[in-house]
Structure 1
Amino acid sequence: MNADGEQTDPMVPDAVSEETARELRRLGWKLALARAALAWERLWPALWPAAGIGGAFLALALFDLLPGLPIWLHGGILALFAGALATALWRGARALALPGISAGQRRIENTTGLVHRPLTLLRDRLASGTDDPAARDLWRLHRLRTIEKIRGLRIGFPSPGLARRDPLALRGLLIVILVIGMTIAWGDGANRIARALAPGVGGVVKGPAVVDIWITPPAYTGIAPIFLTAGKERRNKGTPAPLLASAGGIAAVAVIKGPIAIPEGSTVLAQLSGGWGTPQIVIGTKETEFKPVAEGTFKLTATIDMAPNVKQIRVIQAGREIGAWPVFLVADQPPVVSFGEAPGGSARGALRIDLEGSDDYGFAEAKLIIRRARMGGEEVKEEIPGLTKPPADEGKKDNGAKAARTAAMLAKLNVVKILELPLPGANIKDLKETSYHDLTAHPWAGLEVQVQVVAKDAAGQHGVSDSVTITLPERRFRHPVARALVLLRKRLARDPESRDEVWEALANLGTIPGAYDGDTVVFLSIQIMARTLAGDHGFDAIADVQEMLWETALWLEDGKLSQAERRLREIQKKLMEALKNKAGNAEIQKLMRELERAMAQFMREMMKGLKNLPNWARPFDPNSRSMSAQDLQRMLDRARELALTGNLDAARQLLSMLREMLENLRSGRFAMGRGRGQGQSKAWRMLQELQDMMRRQQELMDQSHRQSRQGMGQRPSTKEGARQQGDLKKQLQDLLRRFGEMMGKVPKSLGDAELAMREALEALRKSRPGEAVGPQGKALENLRRGLGQMAQQFMRRFGRGRGRGRGRGMFGRRPGHIPFAYDPLGRQLPNAGMTSADDVDIPDETETQRAWEILQELRRRAGEVGRPDLEMDYLERLLRRF
């Protein structure tokens, strides 16, 4: 035995035995490879039928052909393939026989070309002659020669001999088909194989899993829906970028890069088709399963609530991620609101509220909360005619029952007052609005109150301003009896237990009818109020008497004007609410007509009052107001046109301007004429004169344009146009002289207008109307600019005066505003905004006319019979808002 534990041949020297052992060890691994090659040559021919059958089925599955077949045929094919595969495997297993050691030796010997089986000799022993030294030497020499011969053994490659069994080389064709199938089914191979193995499951669903997600922010945000998609990598290389859909949802208008900003409260609508298994959507850490809606189609609807851990939206199916998108949620911020200026009153006693604020998505509503600053105890500083003063010590008596009754009555009389504040439009983000509120009829007028603004956005969040203590504006009455009645009303508001004193005062007033010119209405009202207070001690009686006191005072002071004013304000409020709530066109037009009638009635009553005033109290000749009435009517007509074309926000803003102008007319009825002097009347006439010049310049420019088109190839007569242009230039020069004498500095724009008129005049004198159009247009534009500059200079000169307008000057406005917001052509004047709500652009007349023409065309097409249903649906959606 040698060092490796092998039995040595005693007849062979040790050196030969050691070399034989090493050669046998070297032969062992080659013998194993030879046996494996023989096994493959026997196994592959036996299994080739089964492999061909399996490859054919795999090709059908990768091409996704089986799911489209009827269930019975699909199942039959599956059964056929299964039976054929089982038969082929059984027959191959029977024919399979593993090769032994001798077979491996024979393969090596045959492959290497050895004869006489030398590999067997290495394990042979000398059978006889072991005692003969010569025999042993010969045996040793033979083995050495054999070892030397087998040093270059070869195994050779397996050769199963399939070419004899497959002379048409179908195996190569099958391999090519499988490669093509794997290429087509790349990324979806497992799903296709699963559908091929399950008849009736994949009959409808084809292709890879595809998910589409629509994220719709809340409507109040005004943000377009966001469209996400994934699972279409075969057609779109890489992960598709999220898209920001158009407002109509028809096409994408932008590609979002980076994390997607999603407002809280957004709605998620997801739909997935294809794939295998029920998918889930993961928003942050919240996982929600899709619901099946059809074979292979799933749907999900969810709401994205605010959470700190929402940083990604993922869709998962059968453990596989279909798509993932980085997101971050945007929380809705509460609105911020404040008073732009301290609340104050106009000359007519209307409460002016300057509101400022901001919100991320816009305001939904704003309310003014008014509370009594103190409950009783205020002193009446003015002496009331006919009121008997109580003894000095009477007010000091301690009467617990009376105090309790007074407190209860004050609580009823002093319920918190809530006013709806108008907004310039829907979803205004930056709010800057001025509104007027007539609270002179409220019992608190003239008393200290606390006012506070509460704003709400569309998400329901509230913002609150600081509380401000003011004296609620009250109207100043000129008639002594009207003044006395208002003071009695205020006395009842302060102390309901003073009803006896008020009754006594009313009774005394009833005995002196000469104080109110024997007016029967006033006399009967005083008698009714006195009897009511004397006979009814309830709370309702005090409220009724307070209302009658106010109505009687208004009748004494204004007659029918107060009724017209109240009616005008009521209709204004209704119309603004209708525009805010997007009411129907018929309702808006009805309110427009009512507003027109109420405004005309108010103007008539106001003009009657102006004519009855003494000369010193008139702000100017009443006839000079005709231009203002035309401006008001023109603004109302523009608002009606805007509402007809569906531009409700612009109509609402224009009506807000109109409302402010009417308030200034009310305020200016007396304030403009008190101690203002003749300078302001001159300024007003200059502004009106300049407006008239703008109108005439526009007419001349239109005339020159017509003449240039009609006189092609000949010289038209422009003598009359030149004369009119010359007169207009002289009128402007005279206006500049008077303005310079009055104000010292002439606006540069008006000087440029005069130069442009001179150029136009020269062209007209040469019978060249076409060359005059350009300078005339420049002159018109400079006149418009100059009108704004003139108004601003007048504001600086006359803007500070007496009265209760908080320094708003002769026109009752802040510096920088002028009485006419539009020139005679309907265009807005520069720096002449009538309101501070600049978030809505008011279209000019050209844009309005174009919108009206488009609307009429849409209505015409919608009325035509025979148009496709799709087009009719589209037209109906466009017309729905009108």
Structure 2
Amino acid sequence: MSSFSRNDVRRGLSALRWPLFWTRAGMFAESFWRATWPLATVVLLVLAALMLGLQDSVVVEVVWGIAVVSALAALGALIYAISRFRIPTREAALVRLDETLPGRPIQALMDTQAIGDDDSASSAVWRAHQARMAERAATATAVPADLRIARRDPYALRYVAVLVFAVALIFGSIWRVGSVTNMTPGAGDALASGPVWEGWAESPRYTNWPTIYLNDIPEGALDLPAGSLITLRLYGEVGALTVAETVSGRIGELPPASAAEQDFTVRQSGDITISGPGGRTWNVAIVPDRAPSIAILNDPESDAMGEMSLPYQASDDYGVEAGEARIAIDLPSVDRLHGLAIDPDPRPELTVALPMPITGDRTQFEESLVEDFSEHPFANLPVTVTLSALDAAEQQAETAPRQMILPGRRFFDPLAAAIIEQRRDLLWSRENAPRIAQIMRAVAHRPDEVFRKQVDELRLRRVITRLETLARYGLTDEQQTEIARDMWDLALGIEEGDLSSALERLRQAKERLNQAMREGASQAEIEELMRELRRATDDYMRQLSRQAELDNEANEENGGQQNSQNQMQMNQDDLQRMMDRIQELMEQGRMAEAEQALQELQEMLENMRVTQGEGQGGQSPGEEAMEGLAETLREQQGLSDQAFRDLQEQFNPNAQAGESQGNEGRDGGQGQGQQHSQGGDGQGEQSTDEGGGDGSDQNAGEGQEGSLADRQQALRDELRRQQGSLPGAGTPEGDAARDALDRAGRAMDGAEEALRQDDFAGAIDNQSQAMEALREGMRALGEAMQQEAQNGQQGQGISDADRRADARDPLGREPGSNGSVGTEEGLLQGEDVYRRARDLLDEIRRRSGEGQRPDVELDYLQRLLDRF
């Protein structure tokens, strides 16, 4: 440090040459921009106005006024720039660069020692100080320029000028700037000696083509879409410029060729010629607008409720605007029998708008027409369907008429199907009205054998009476439509039913399924009817469970035992397997075997009693479901533990070598425990297989993700079975339990998929979600059971008496202990038998007025009243 001298200082300053140069250049840019931004703003605004041709759209006086204002603004901006602009000095650049360094090292290097220069120690300290400052100065970098002038331009006029200039570059023309010279003194003489013209070609909006400025287009070929609008403006002496064209195809009175303003539409290929000074000729070629195309992809499909789905494909070069489907009756293909034998009433085509894509491109797309024509007169009759598409040029394309049966809802209840058939005949022709009334009277001749509800009989008789009355004077269109609507509502109520008796609903579902198999219903219809059968079966099983509980309480009170020798025992697994077997036979087309199995199922259900499984005695359905869910949770925990061990072995195969032998014994014990508990649930053979399978897989080798996935799938199937028999339906707690189990099932599906893809980490995450959902489901189920117990305790004081009173038949007899209809006691005993008969008749009338009783009982009571 002691050897540091003035030469070293000069060398240190010379090392700042380039940072100093760029800093000074930045200061120059700052000073220049801050001084010239008003001038740049004025110049950009004037250029943008000239490029957009604003001078051609206003009078010359306004142009000159704006020019004077612009010149004054430019002069003021120039004076402002000259007064504000200063070239930065080297010293100022050094000061700015020095301000960015700690301790102002550059200033220190330029300083000299003021005192103590004759003292060696003081000089040494000074030289050491300058050496440190030289090191700091060597790290200096150029200071960037600060071009922000927001304080000087608070209204951001500079950005407005840049935006307007960018718009002029895109939509204007640089050649228009020169047109301002035509407004200078003496320019009129030049215009007279040299006429000018302007032209534009505006394409139709739907093509998305831009407007063309013809002055920028050289002579030669010019491609334009059909329907383009040509606009020409001629300036100068009349007759100096003329226009000739062969593209419009105009016939008749035409404007003069020398007219100053000419507009015409391009209809065909041809030539456009502007004759005279500066004239041009274009050979216009039409870009054709192709007609749209549309096609039906497949035959229509319908779901179980009769909703039709007809897929189609449409395309157009500029996009399809709209489409429609026209459906007409195909009379030659109609089987003209019964009510269809006479000529039909005139009926217009059925026209339906085709769905169009809401978003996206319409040049080519596929969509489906989804409509429900079940109530239309053409439903389930031969029709022809024609699809049409329309583009923006109003060009239309149609498909060839396609013959098909118009899908509609099918009715499998015999009475409902008969009413729908007569409704079709009524809509076919009003002349069928007397015949329809006669047929429906024949149908309702023996109502006890046909109707399940008396209200349906009354509704049908009302329809018959009204139809006969109106037919005498001639049905109007409104009356025909109204009666057809009443017949539809009646048939729909009979088909869907409103049965309070689970057994009657089960029988009805079975009959409808048999009818559907005999009539060759579609797969979707059979699946819907099969789901209805499953729901009816579940309702019937719940009713049997409640009846079994009542019977057990009655037996305990009487000290007797229930005789079950002639009753069949069946658990939920057996029932589920039988229904799966029926559905499998139907899917294979073995309808005869499926119908036989369905008949056997109904007979077994009508003679069965619900069992809880061996070894569980008096467990309630809620307790059984809770125990099953607990077992499922334990099995899921075991699968999650196994997946975690496999994940460890995947990244460190030798880490679990010694541990796997110990786990093997524990897992085997777990599998045996699962086998035992599942066997206790009454699952029999299925549970034993699963338990043995679990144990063998683990003992054979627990790192195989395939076997883990299979076990996860089996556990998911078991959860699905438990969901089908979960109690508490219709209560908030029961619904919450079902929602939680649904989430658990979805998580199990995700875990199975992850295991099959060897993704153990993802499987563990899904298994954790499944276990959490299972716990939530168990908590909700426990709350449902607790709520049910509280409700039972609140009504226990009167429930036994009410139950015994409701168990009596209308004649006052209590059911026998062995399940027989009545007791061994005499019907009418005592001294006043007539008073007893009046009491019985009053009781029958009272019970027949209680609408909440099952329909079967109400019908029985009505027959008693009619007879006695």
TM surpasses 0.5: no
TM range (shorter): 0.3 to 0.5
TM-score by length of structure 2 reads: 0.36
Higher relative contact order (CA 8 A, sep 6+): 1
Which protein is richer in helix relative to its size? 2
TM-score by length of structure 1 reads: 0.35
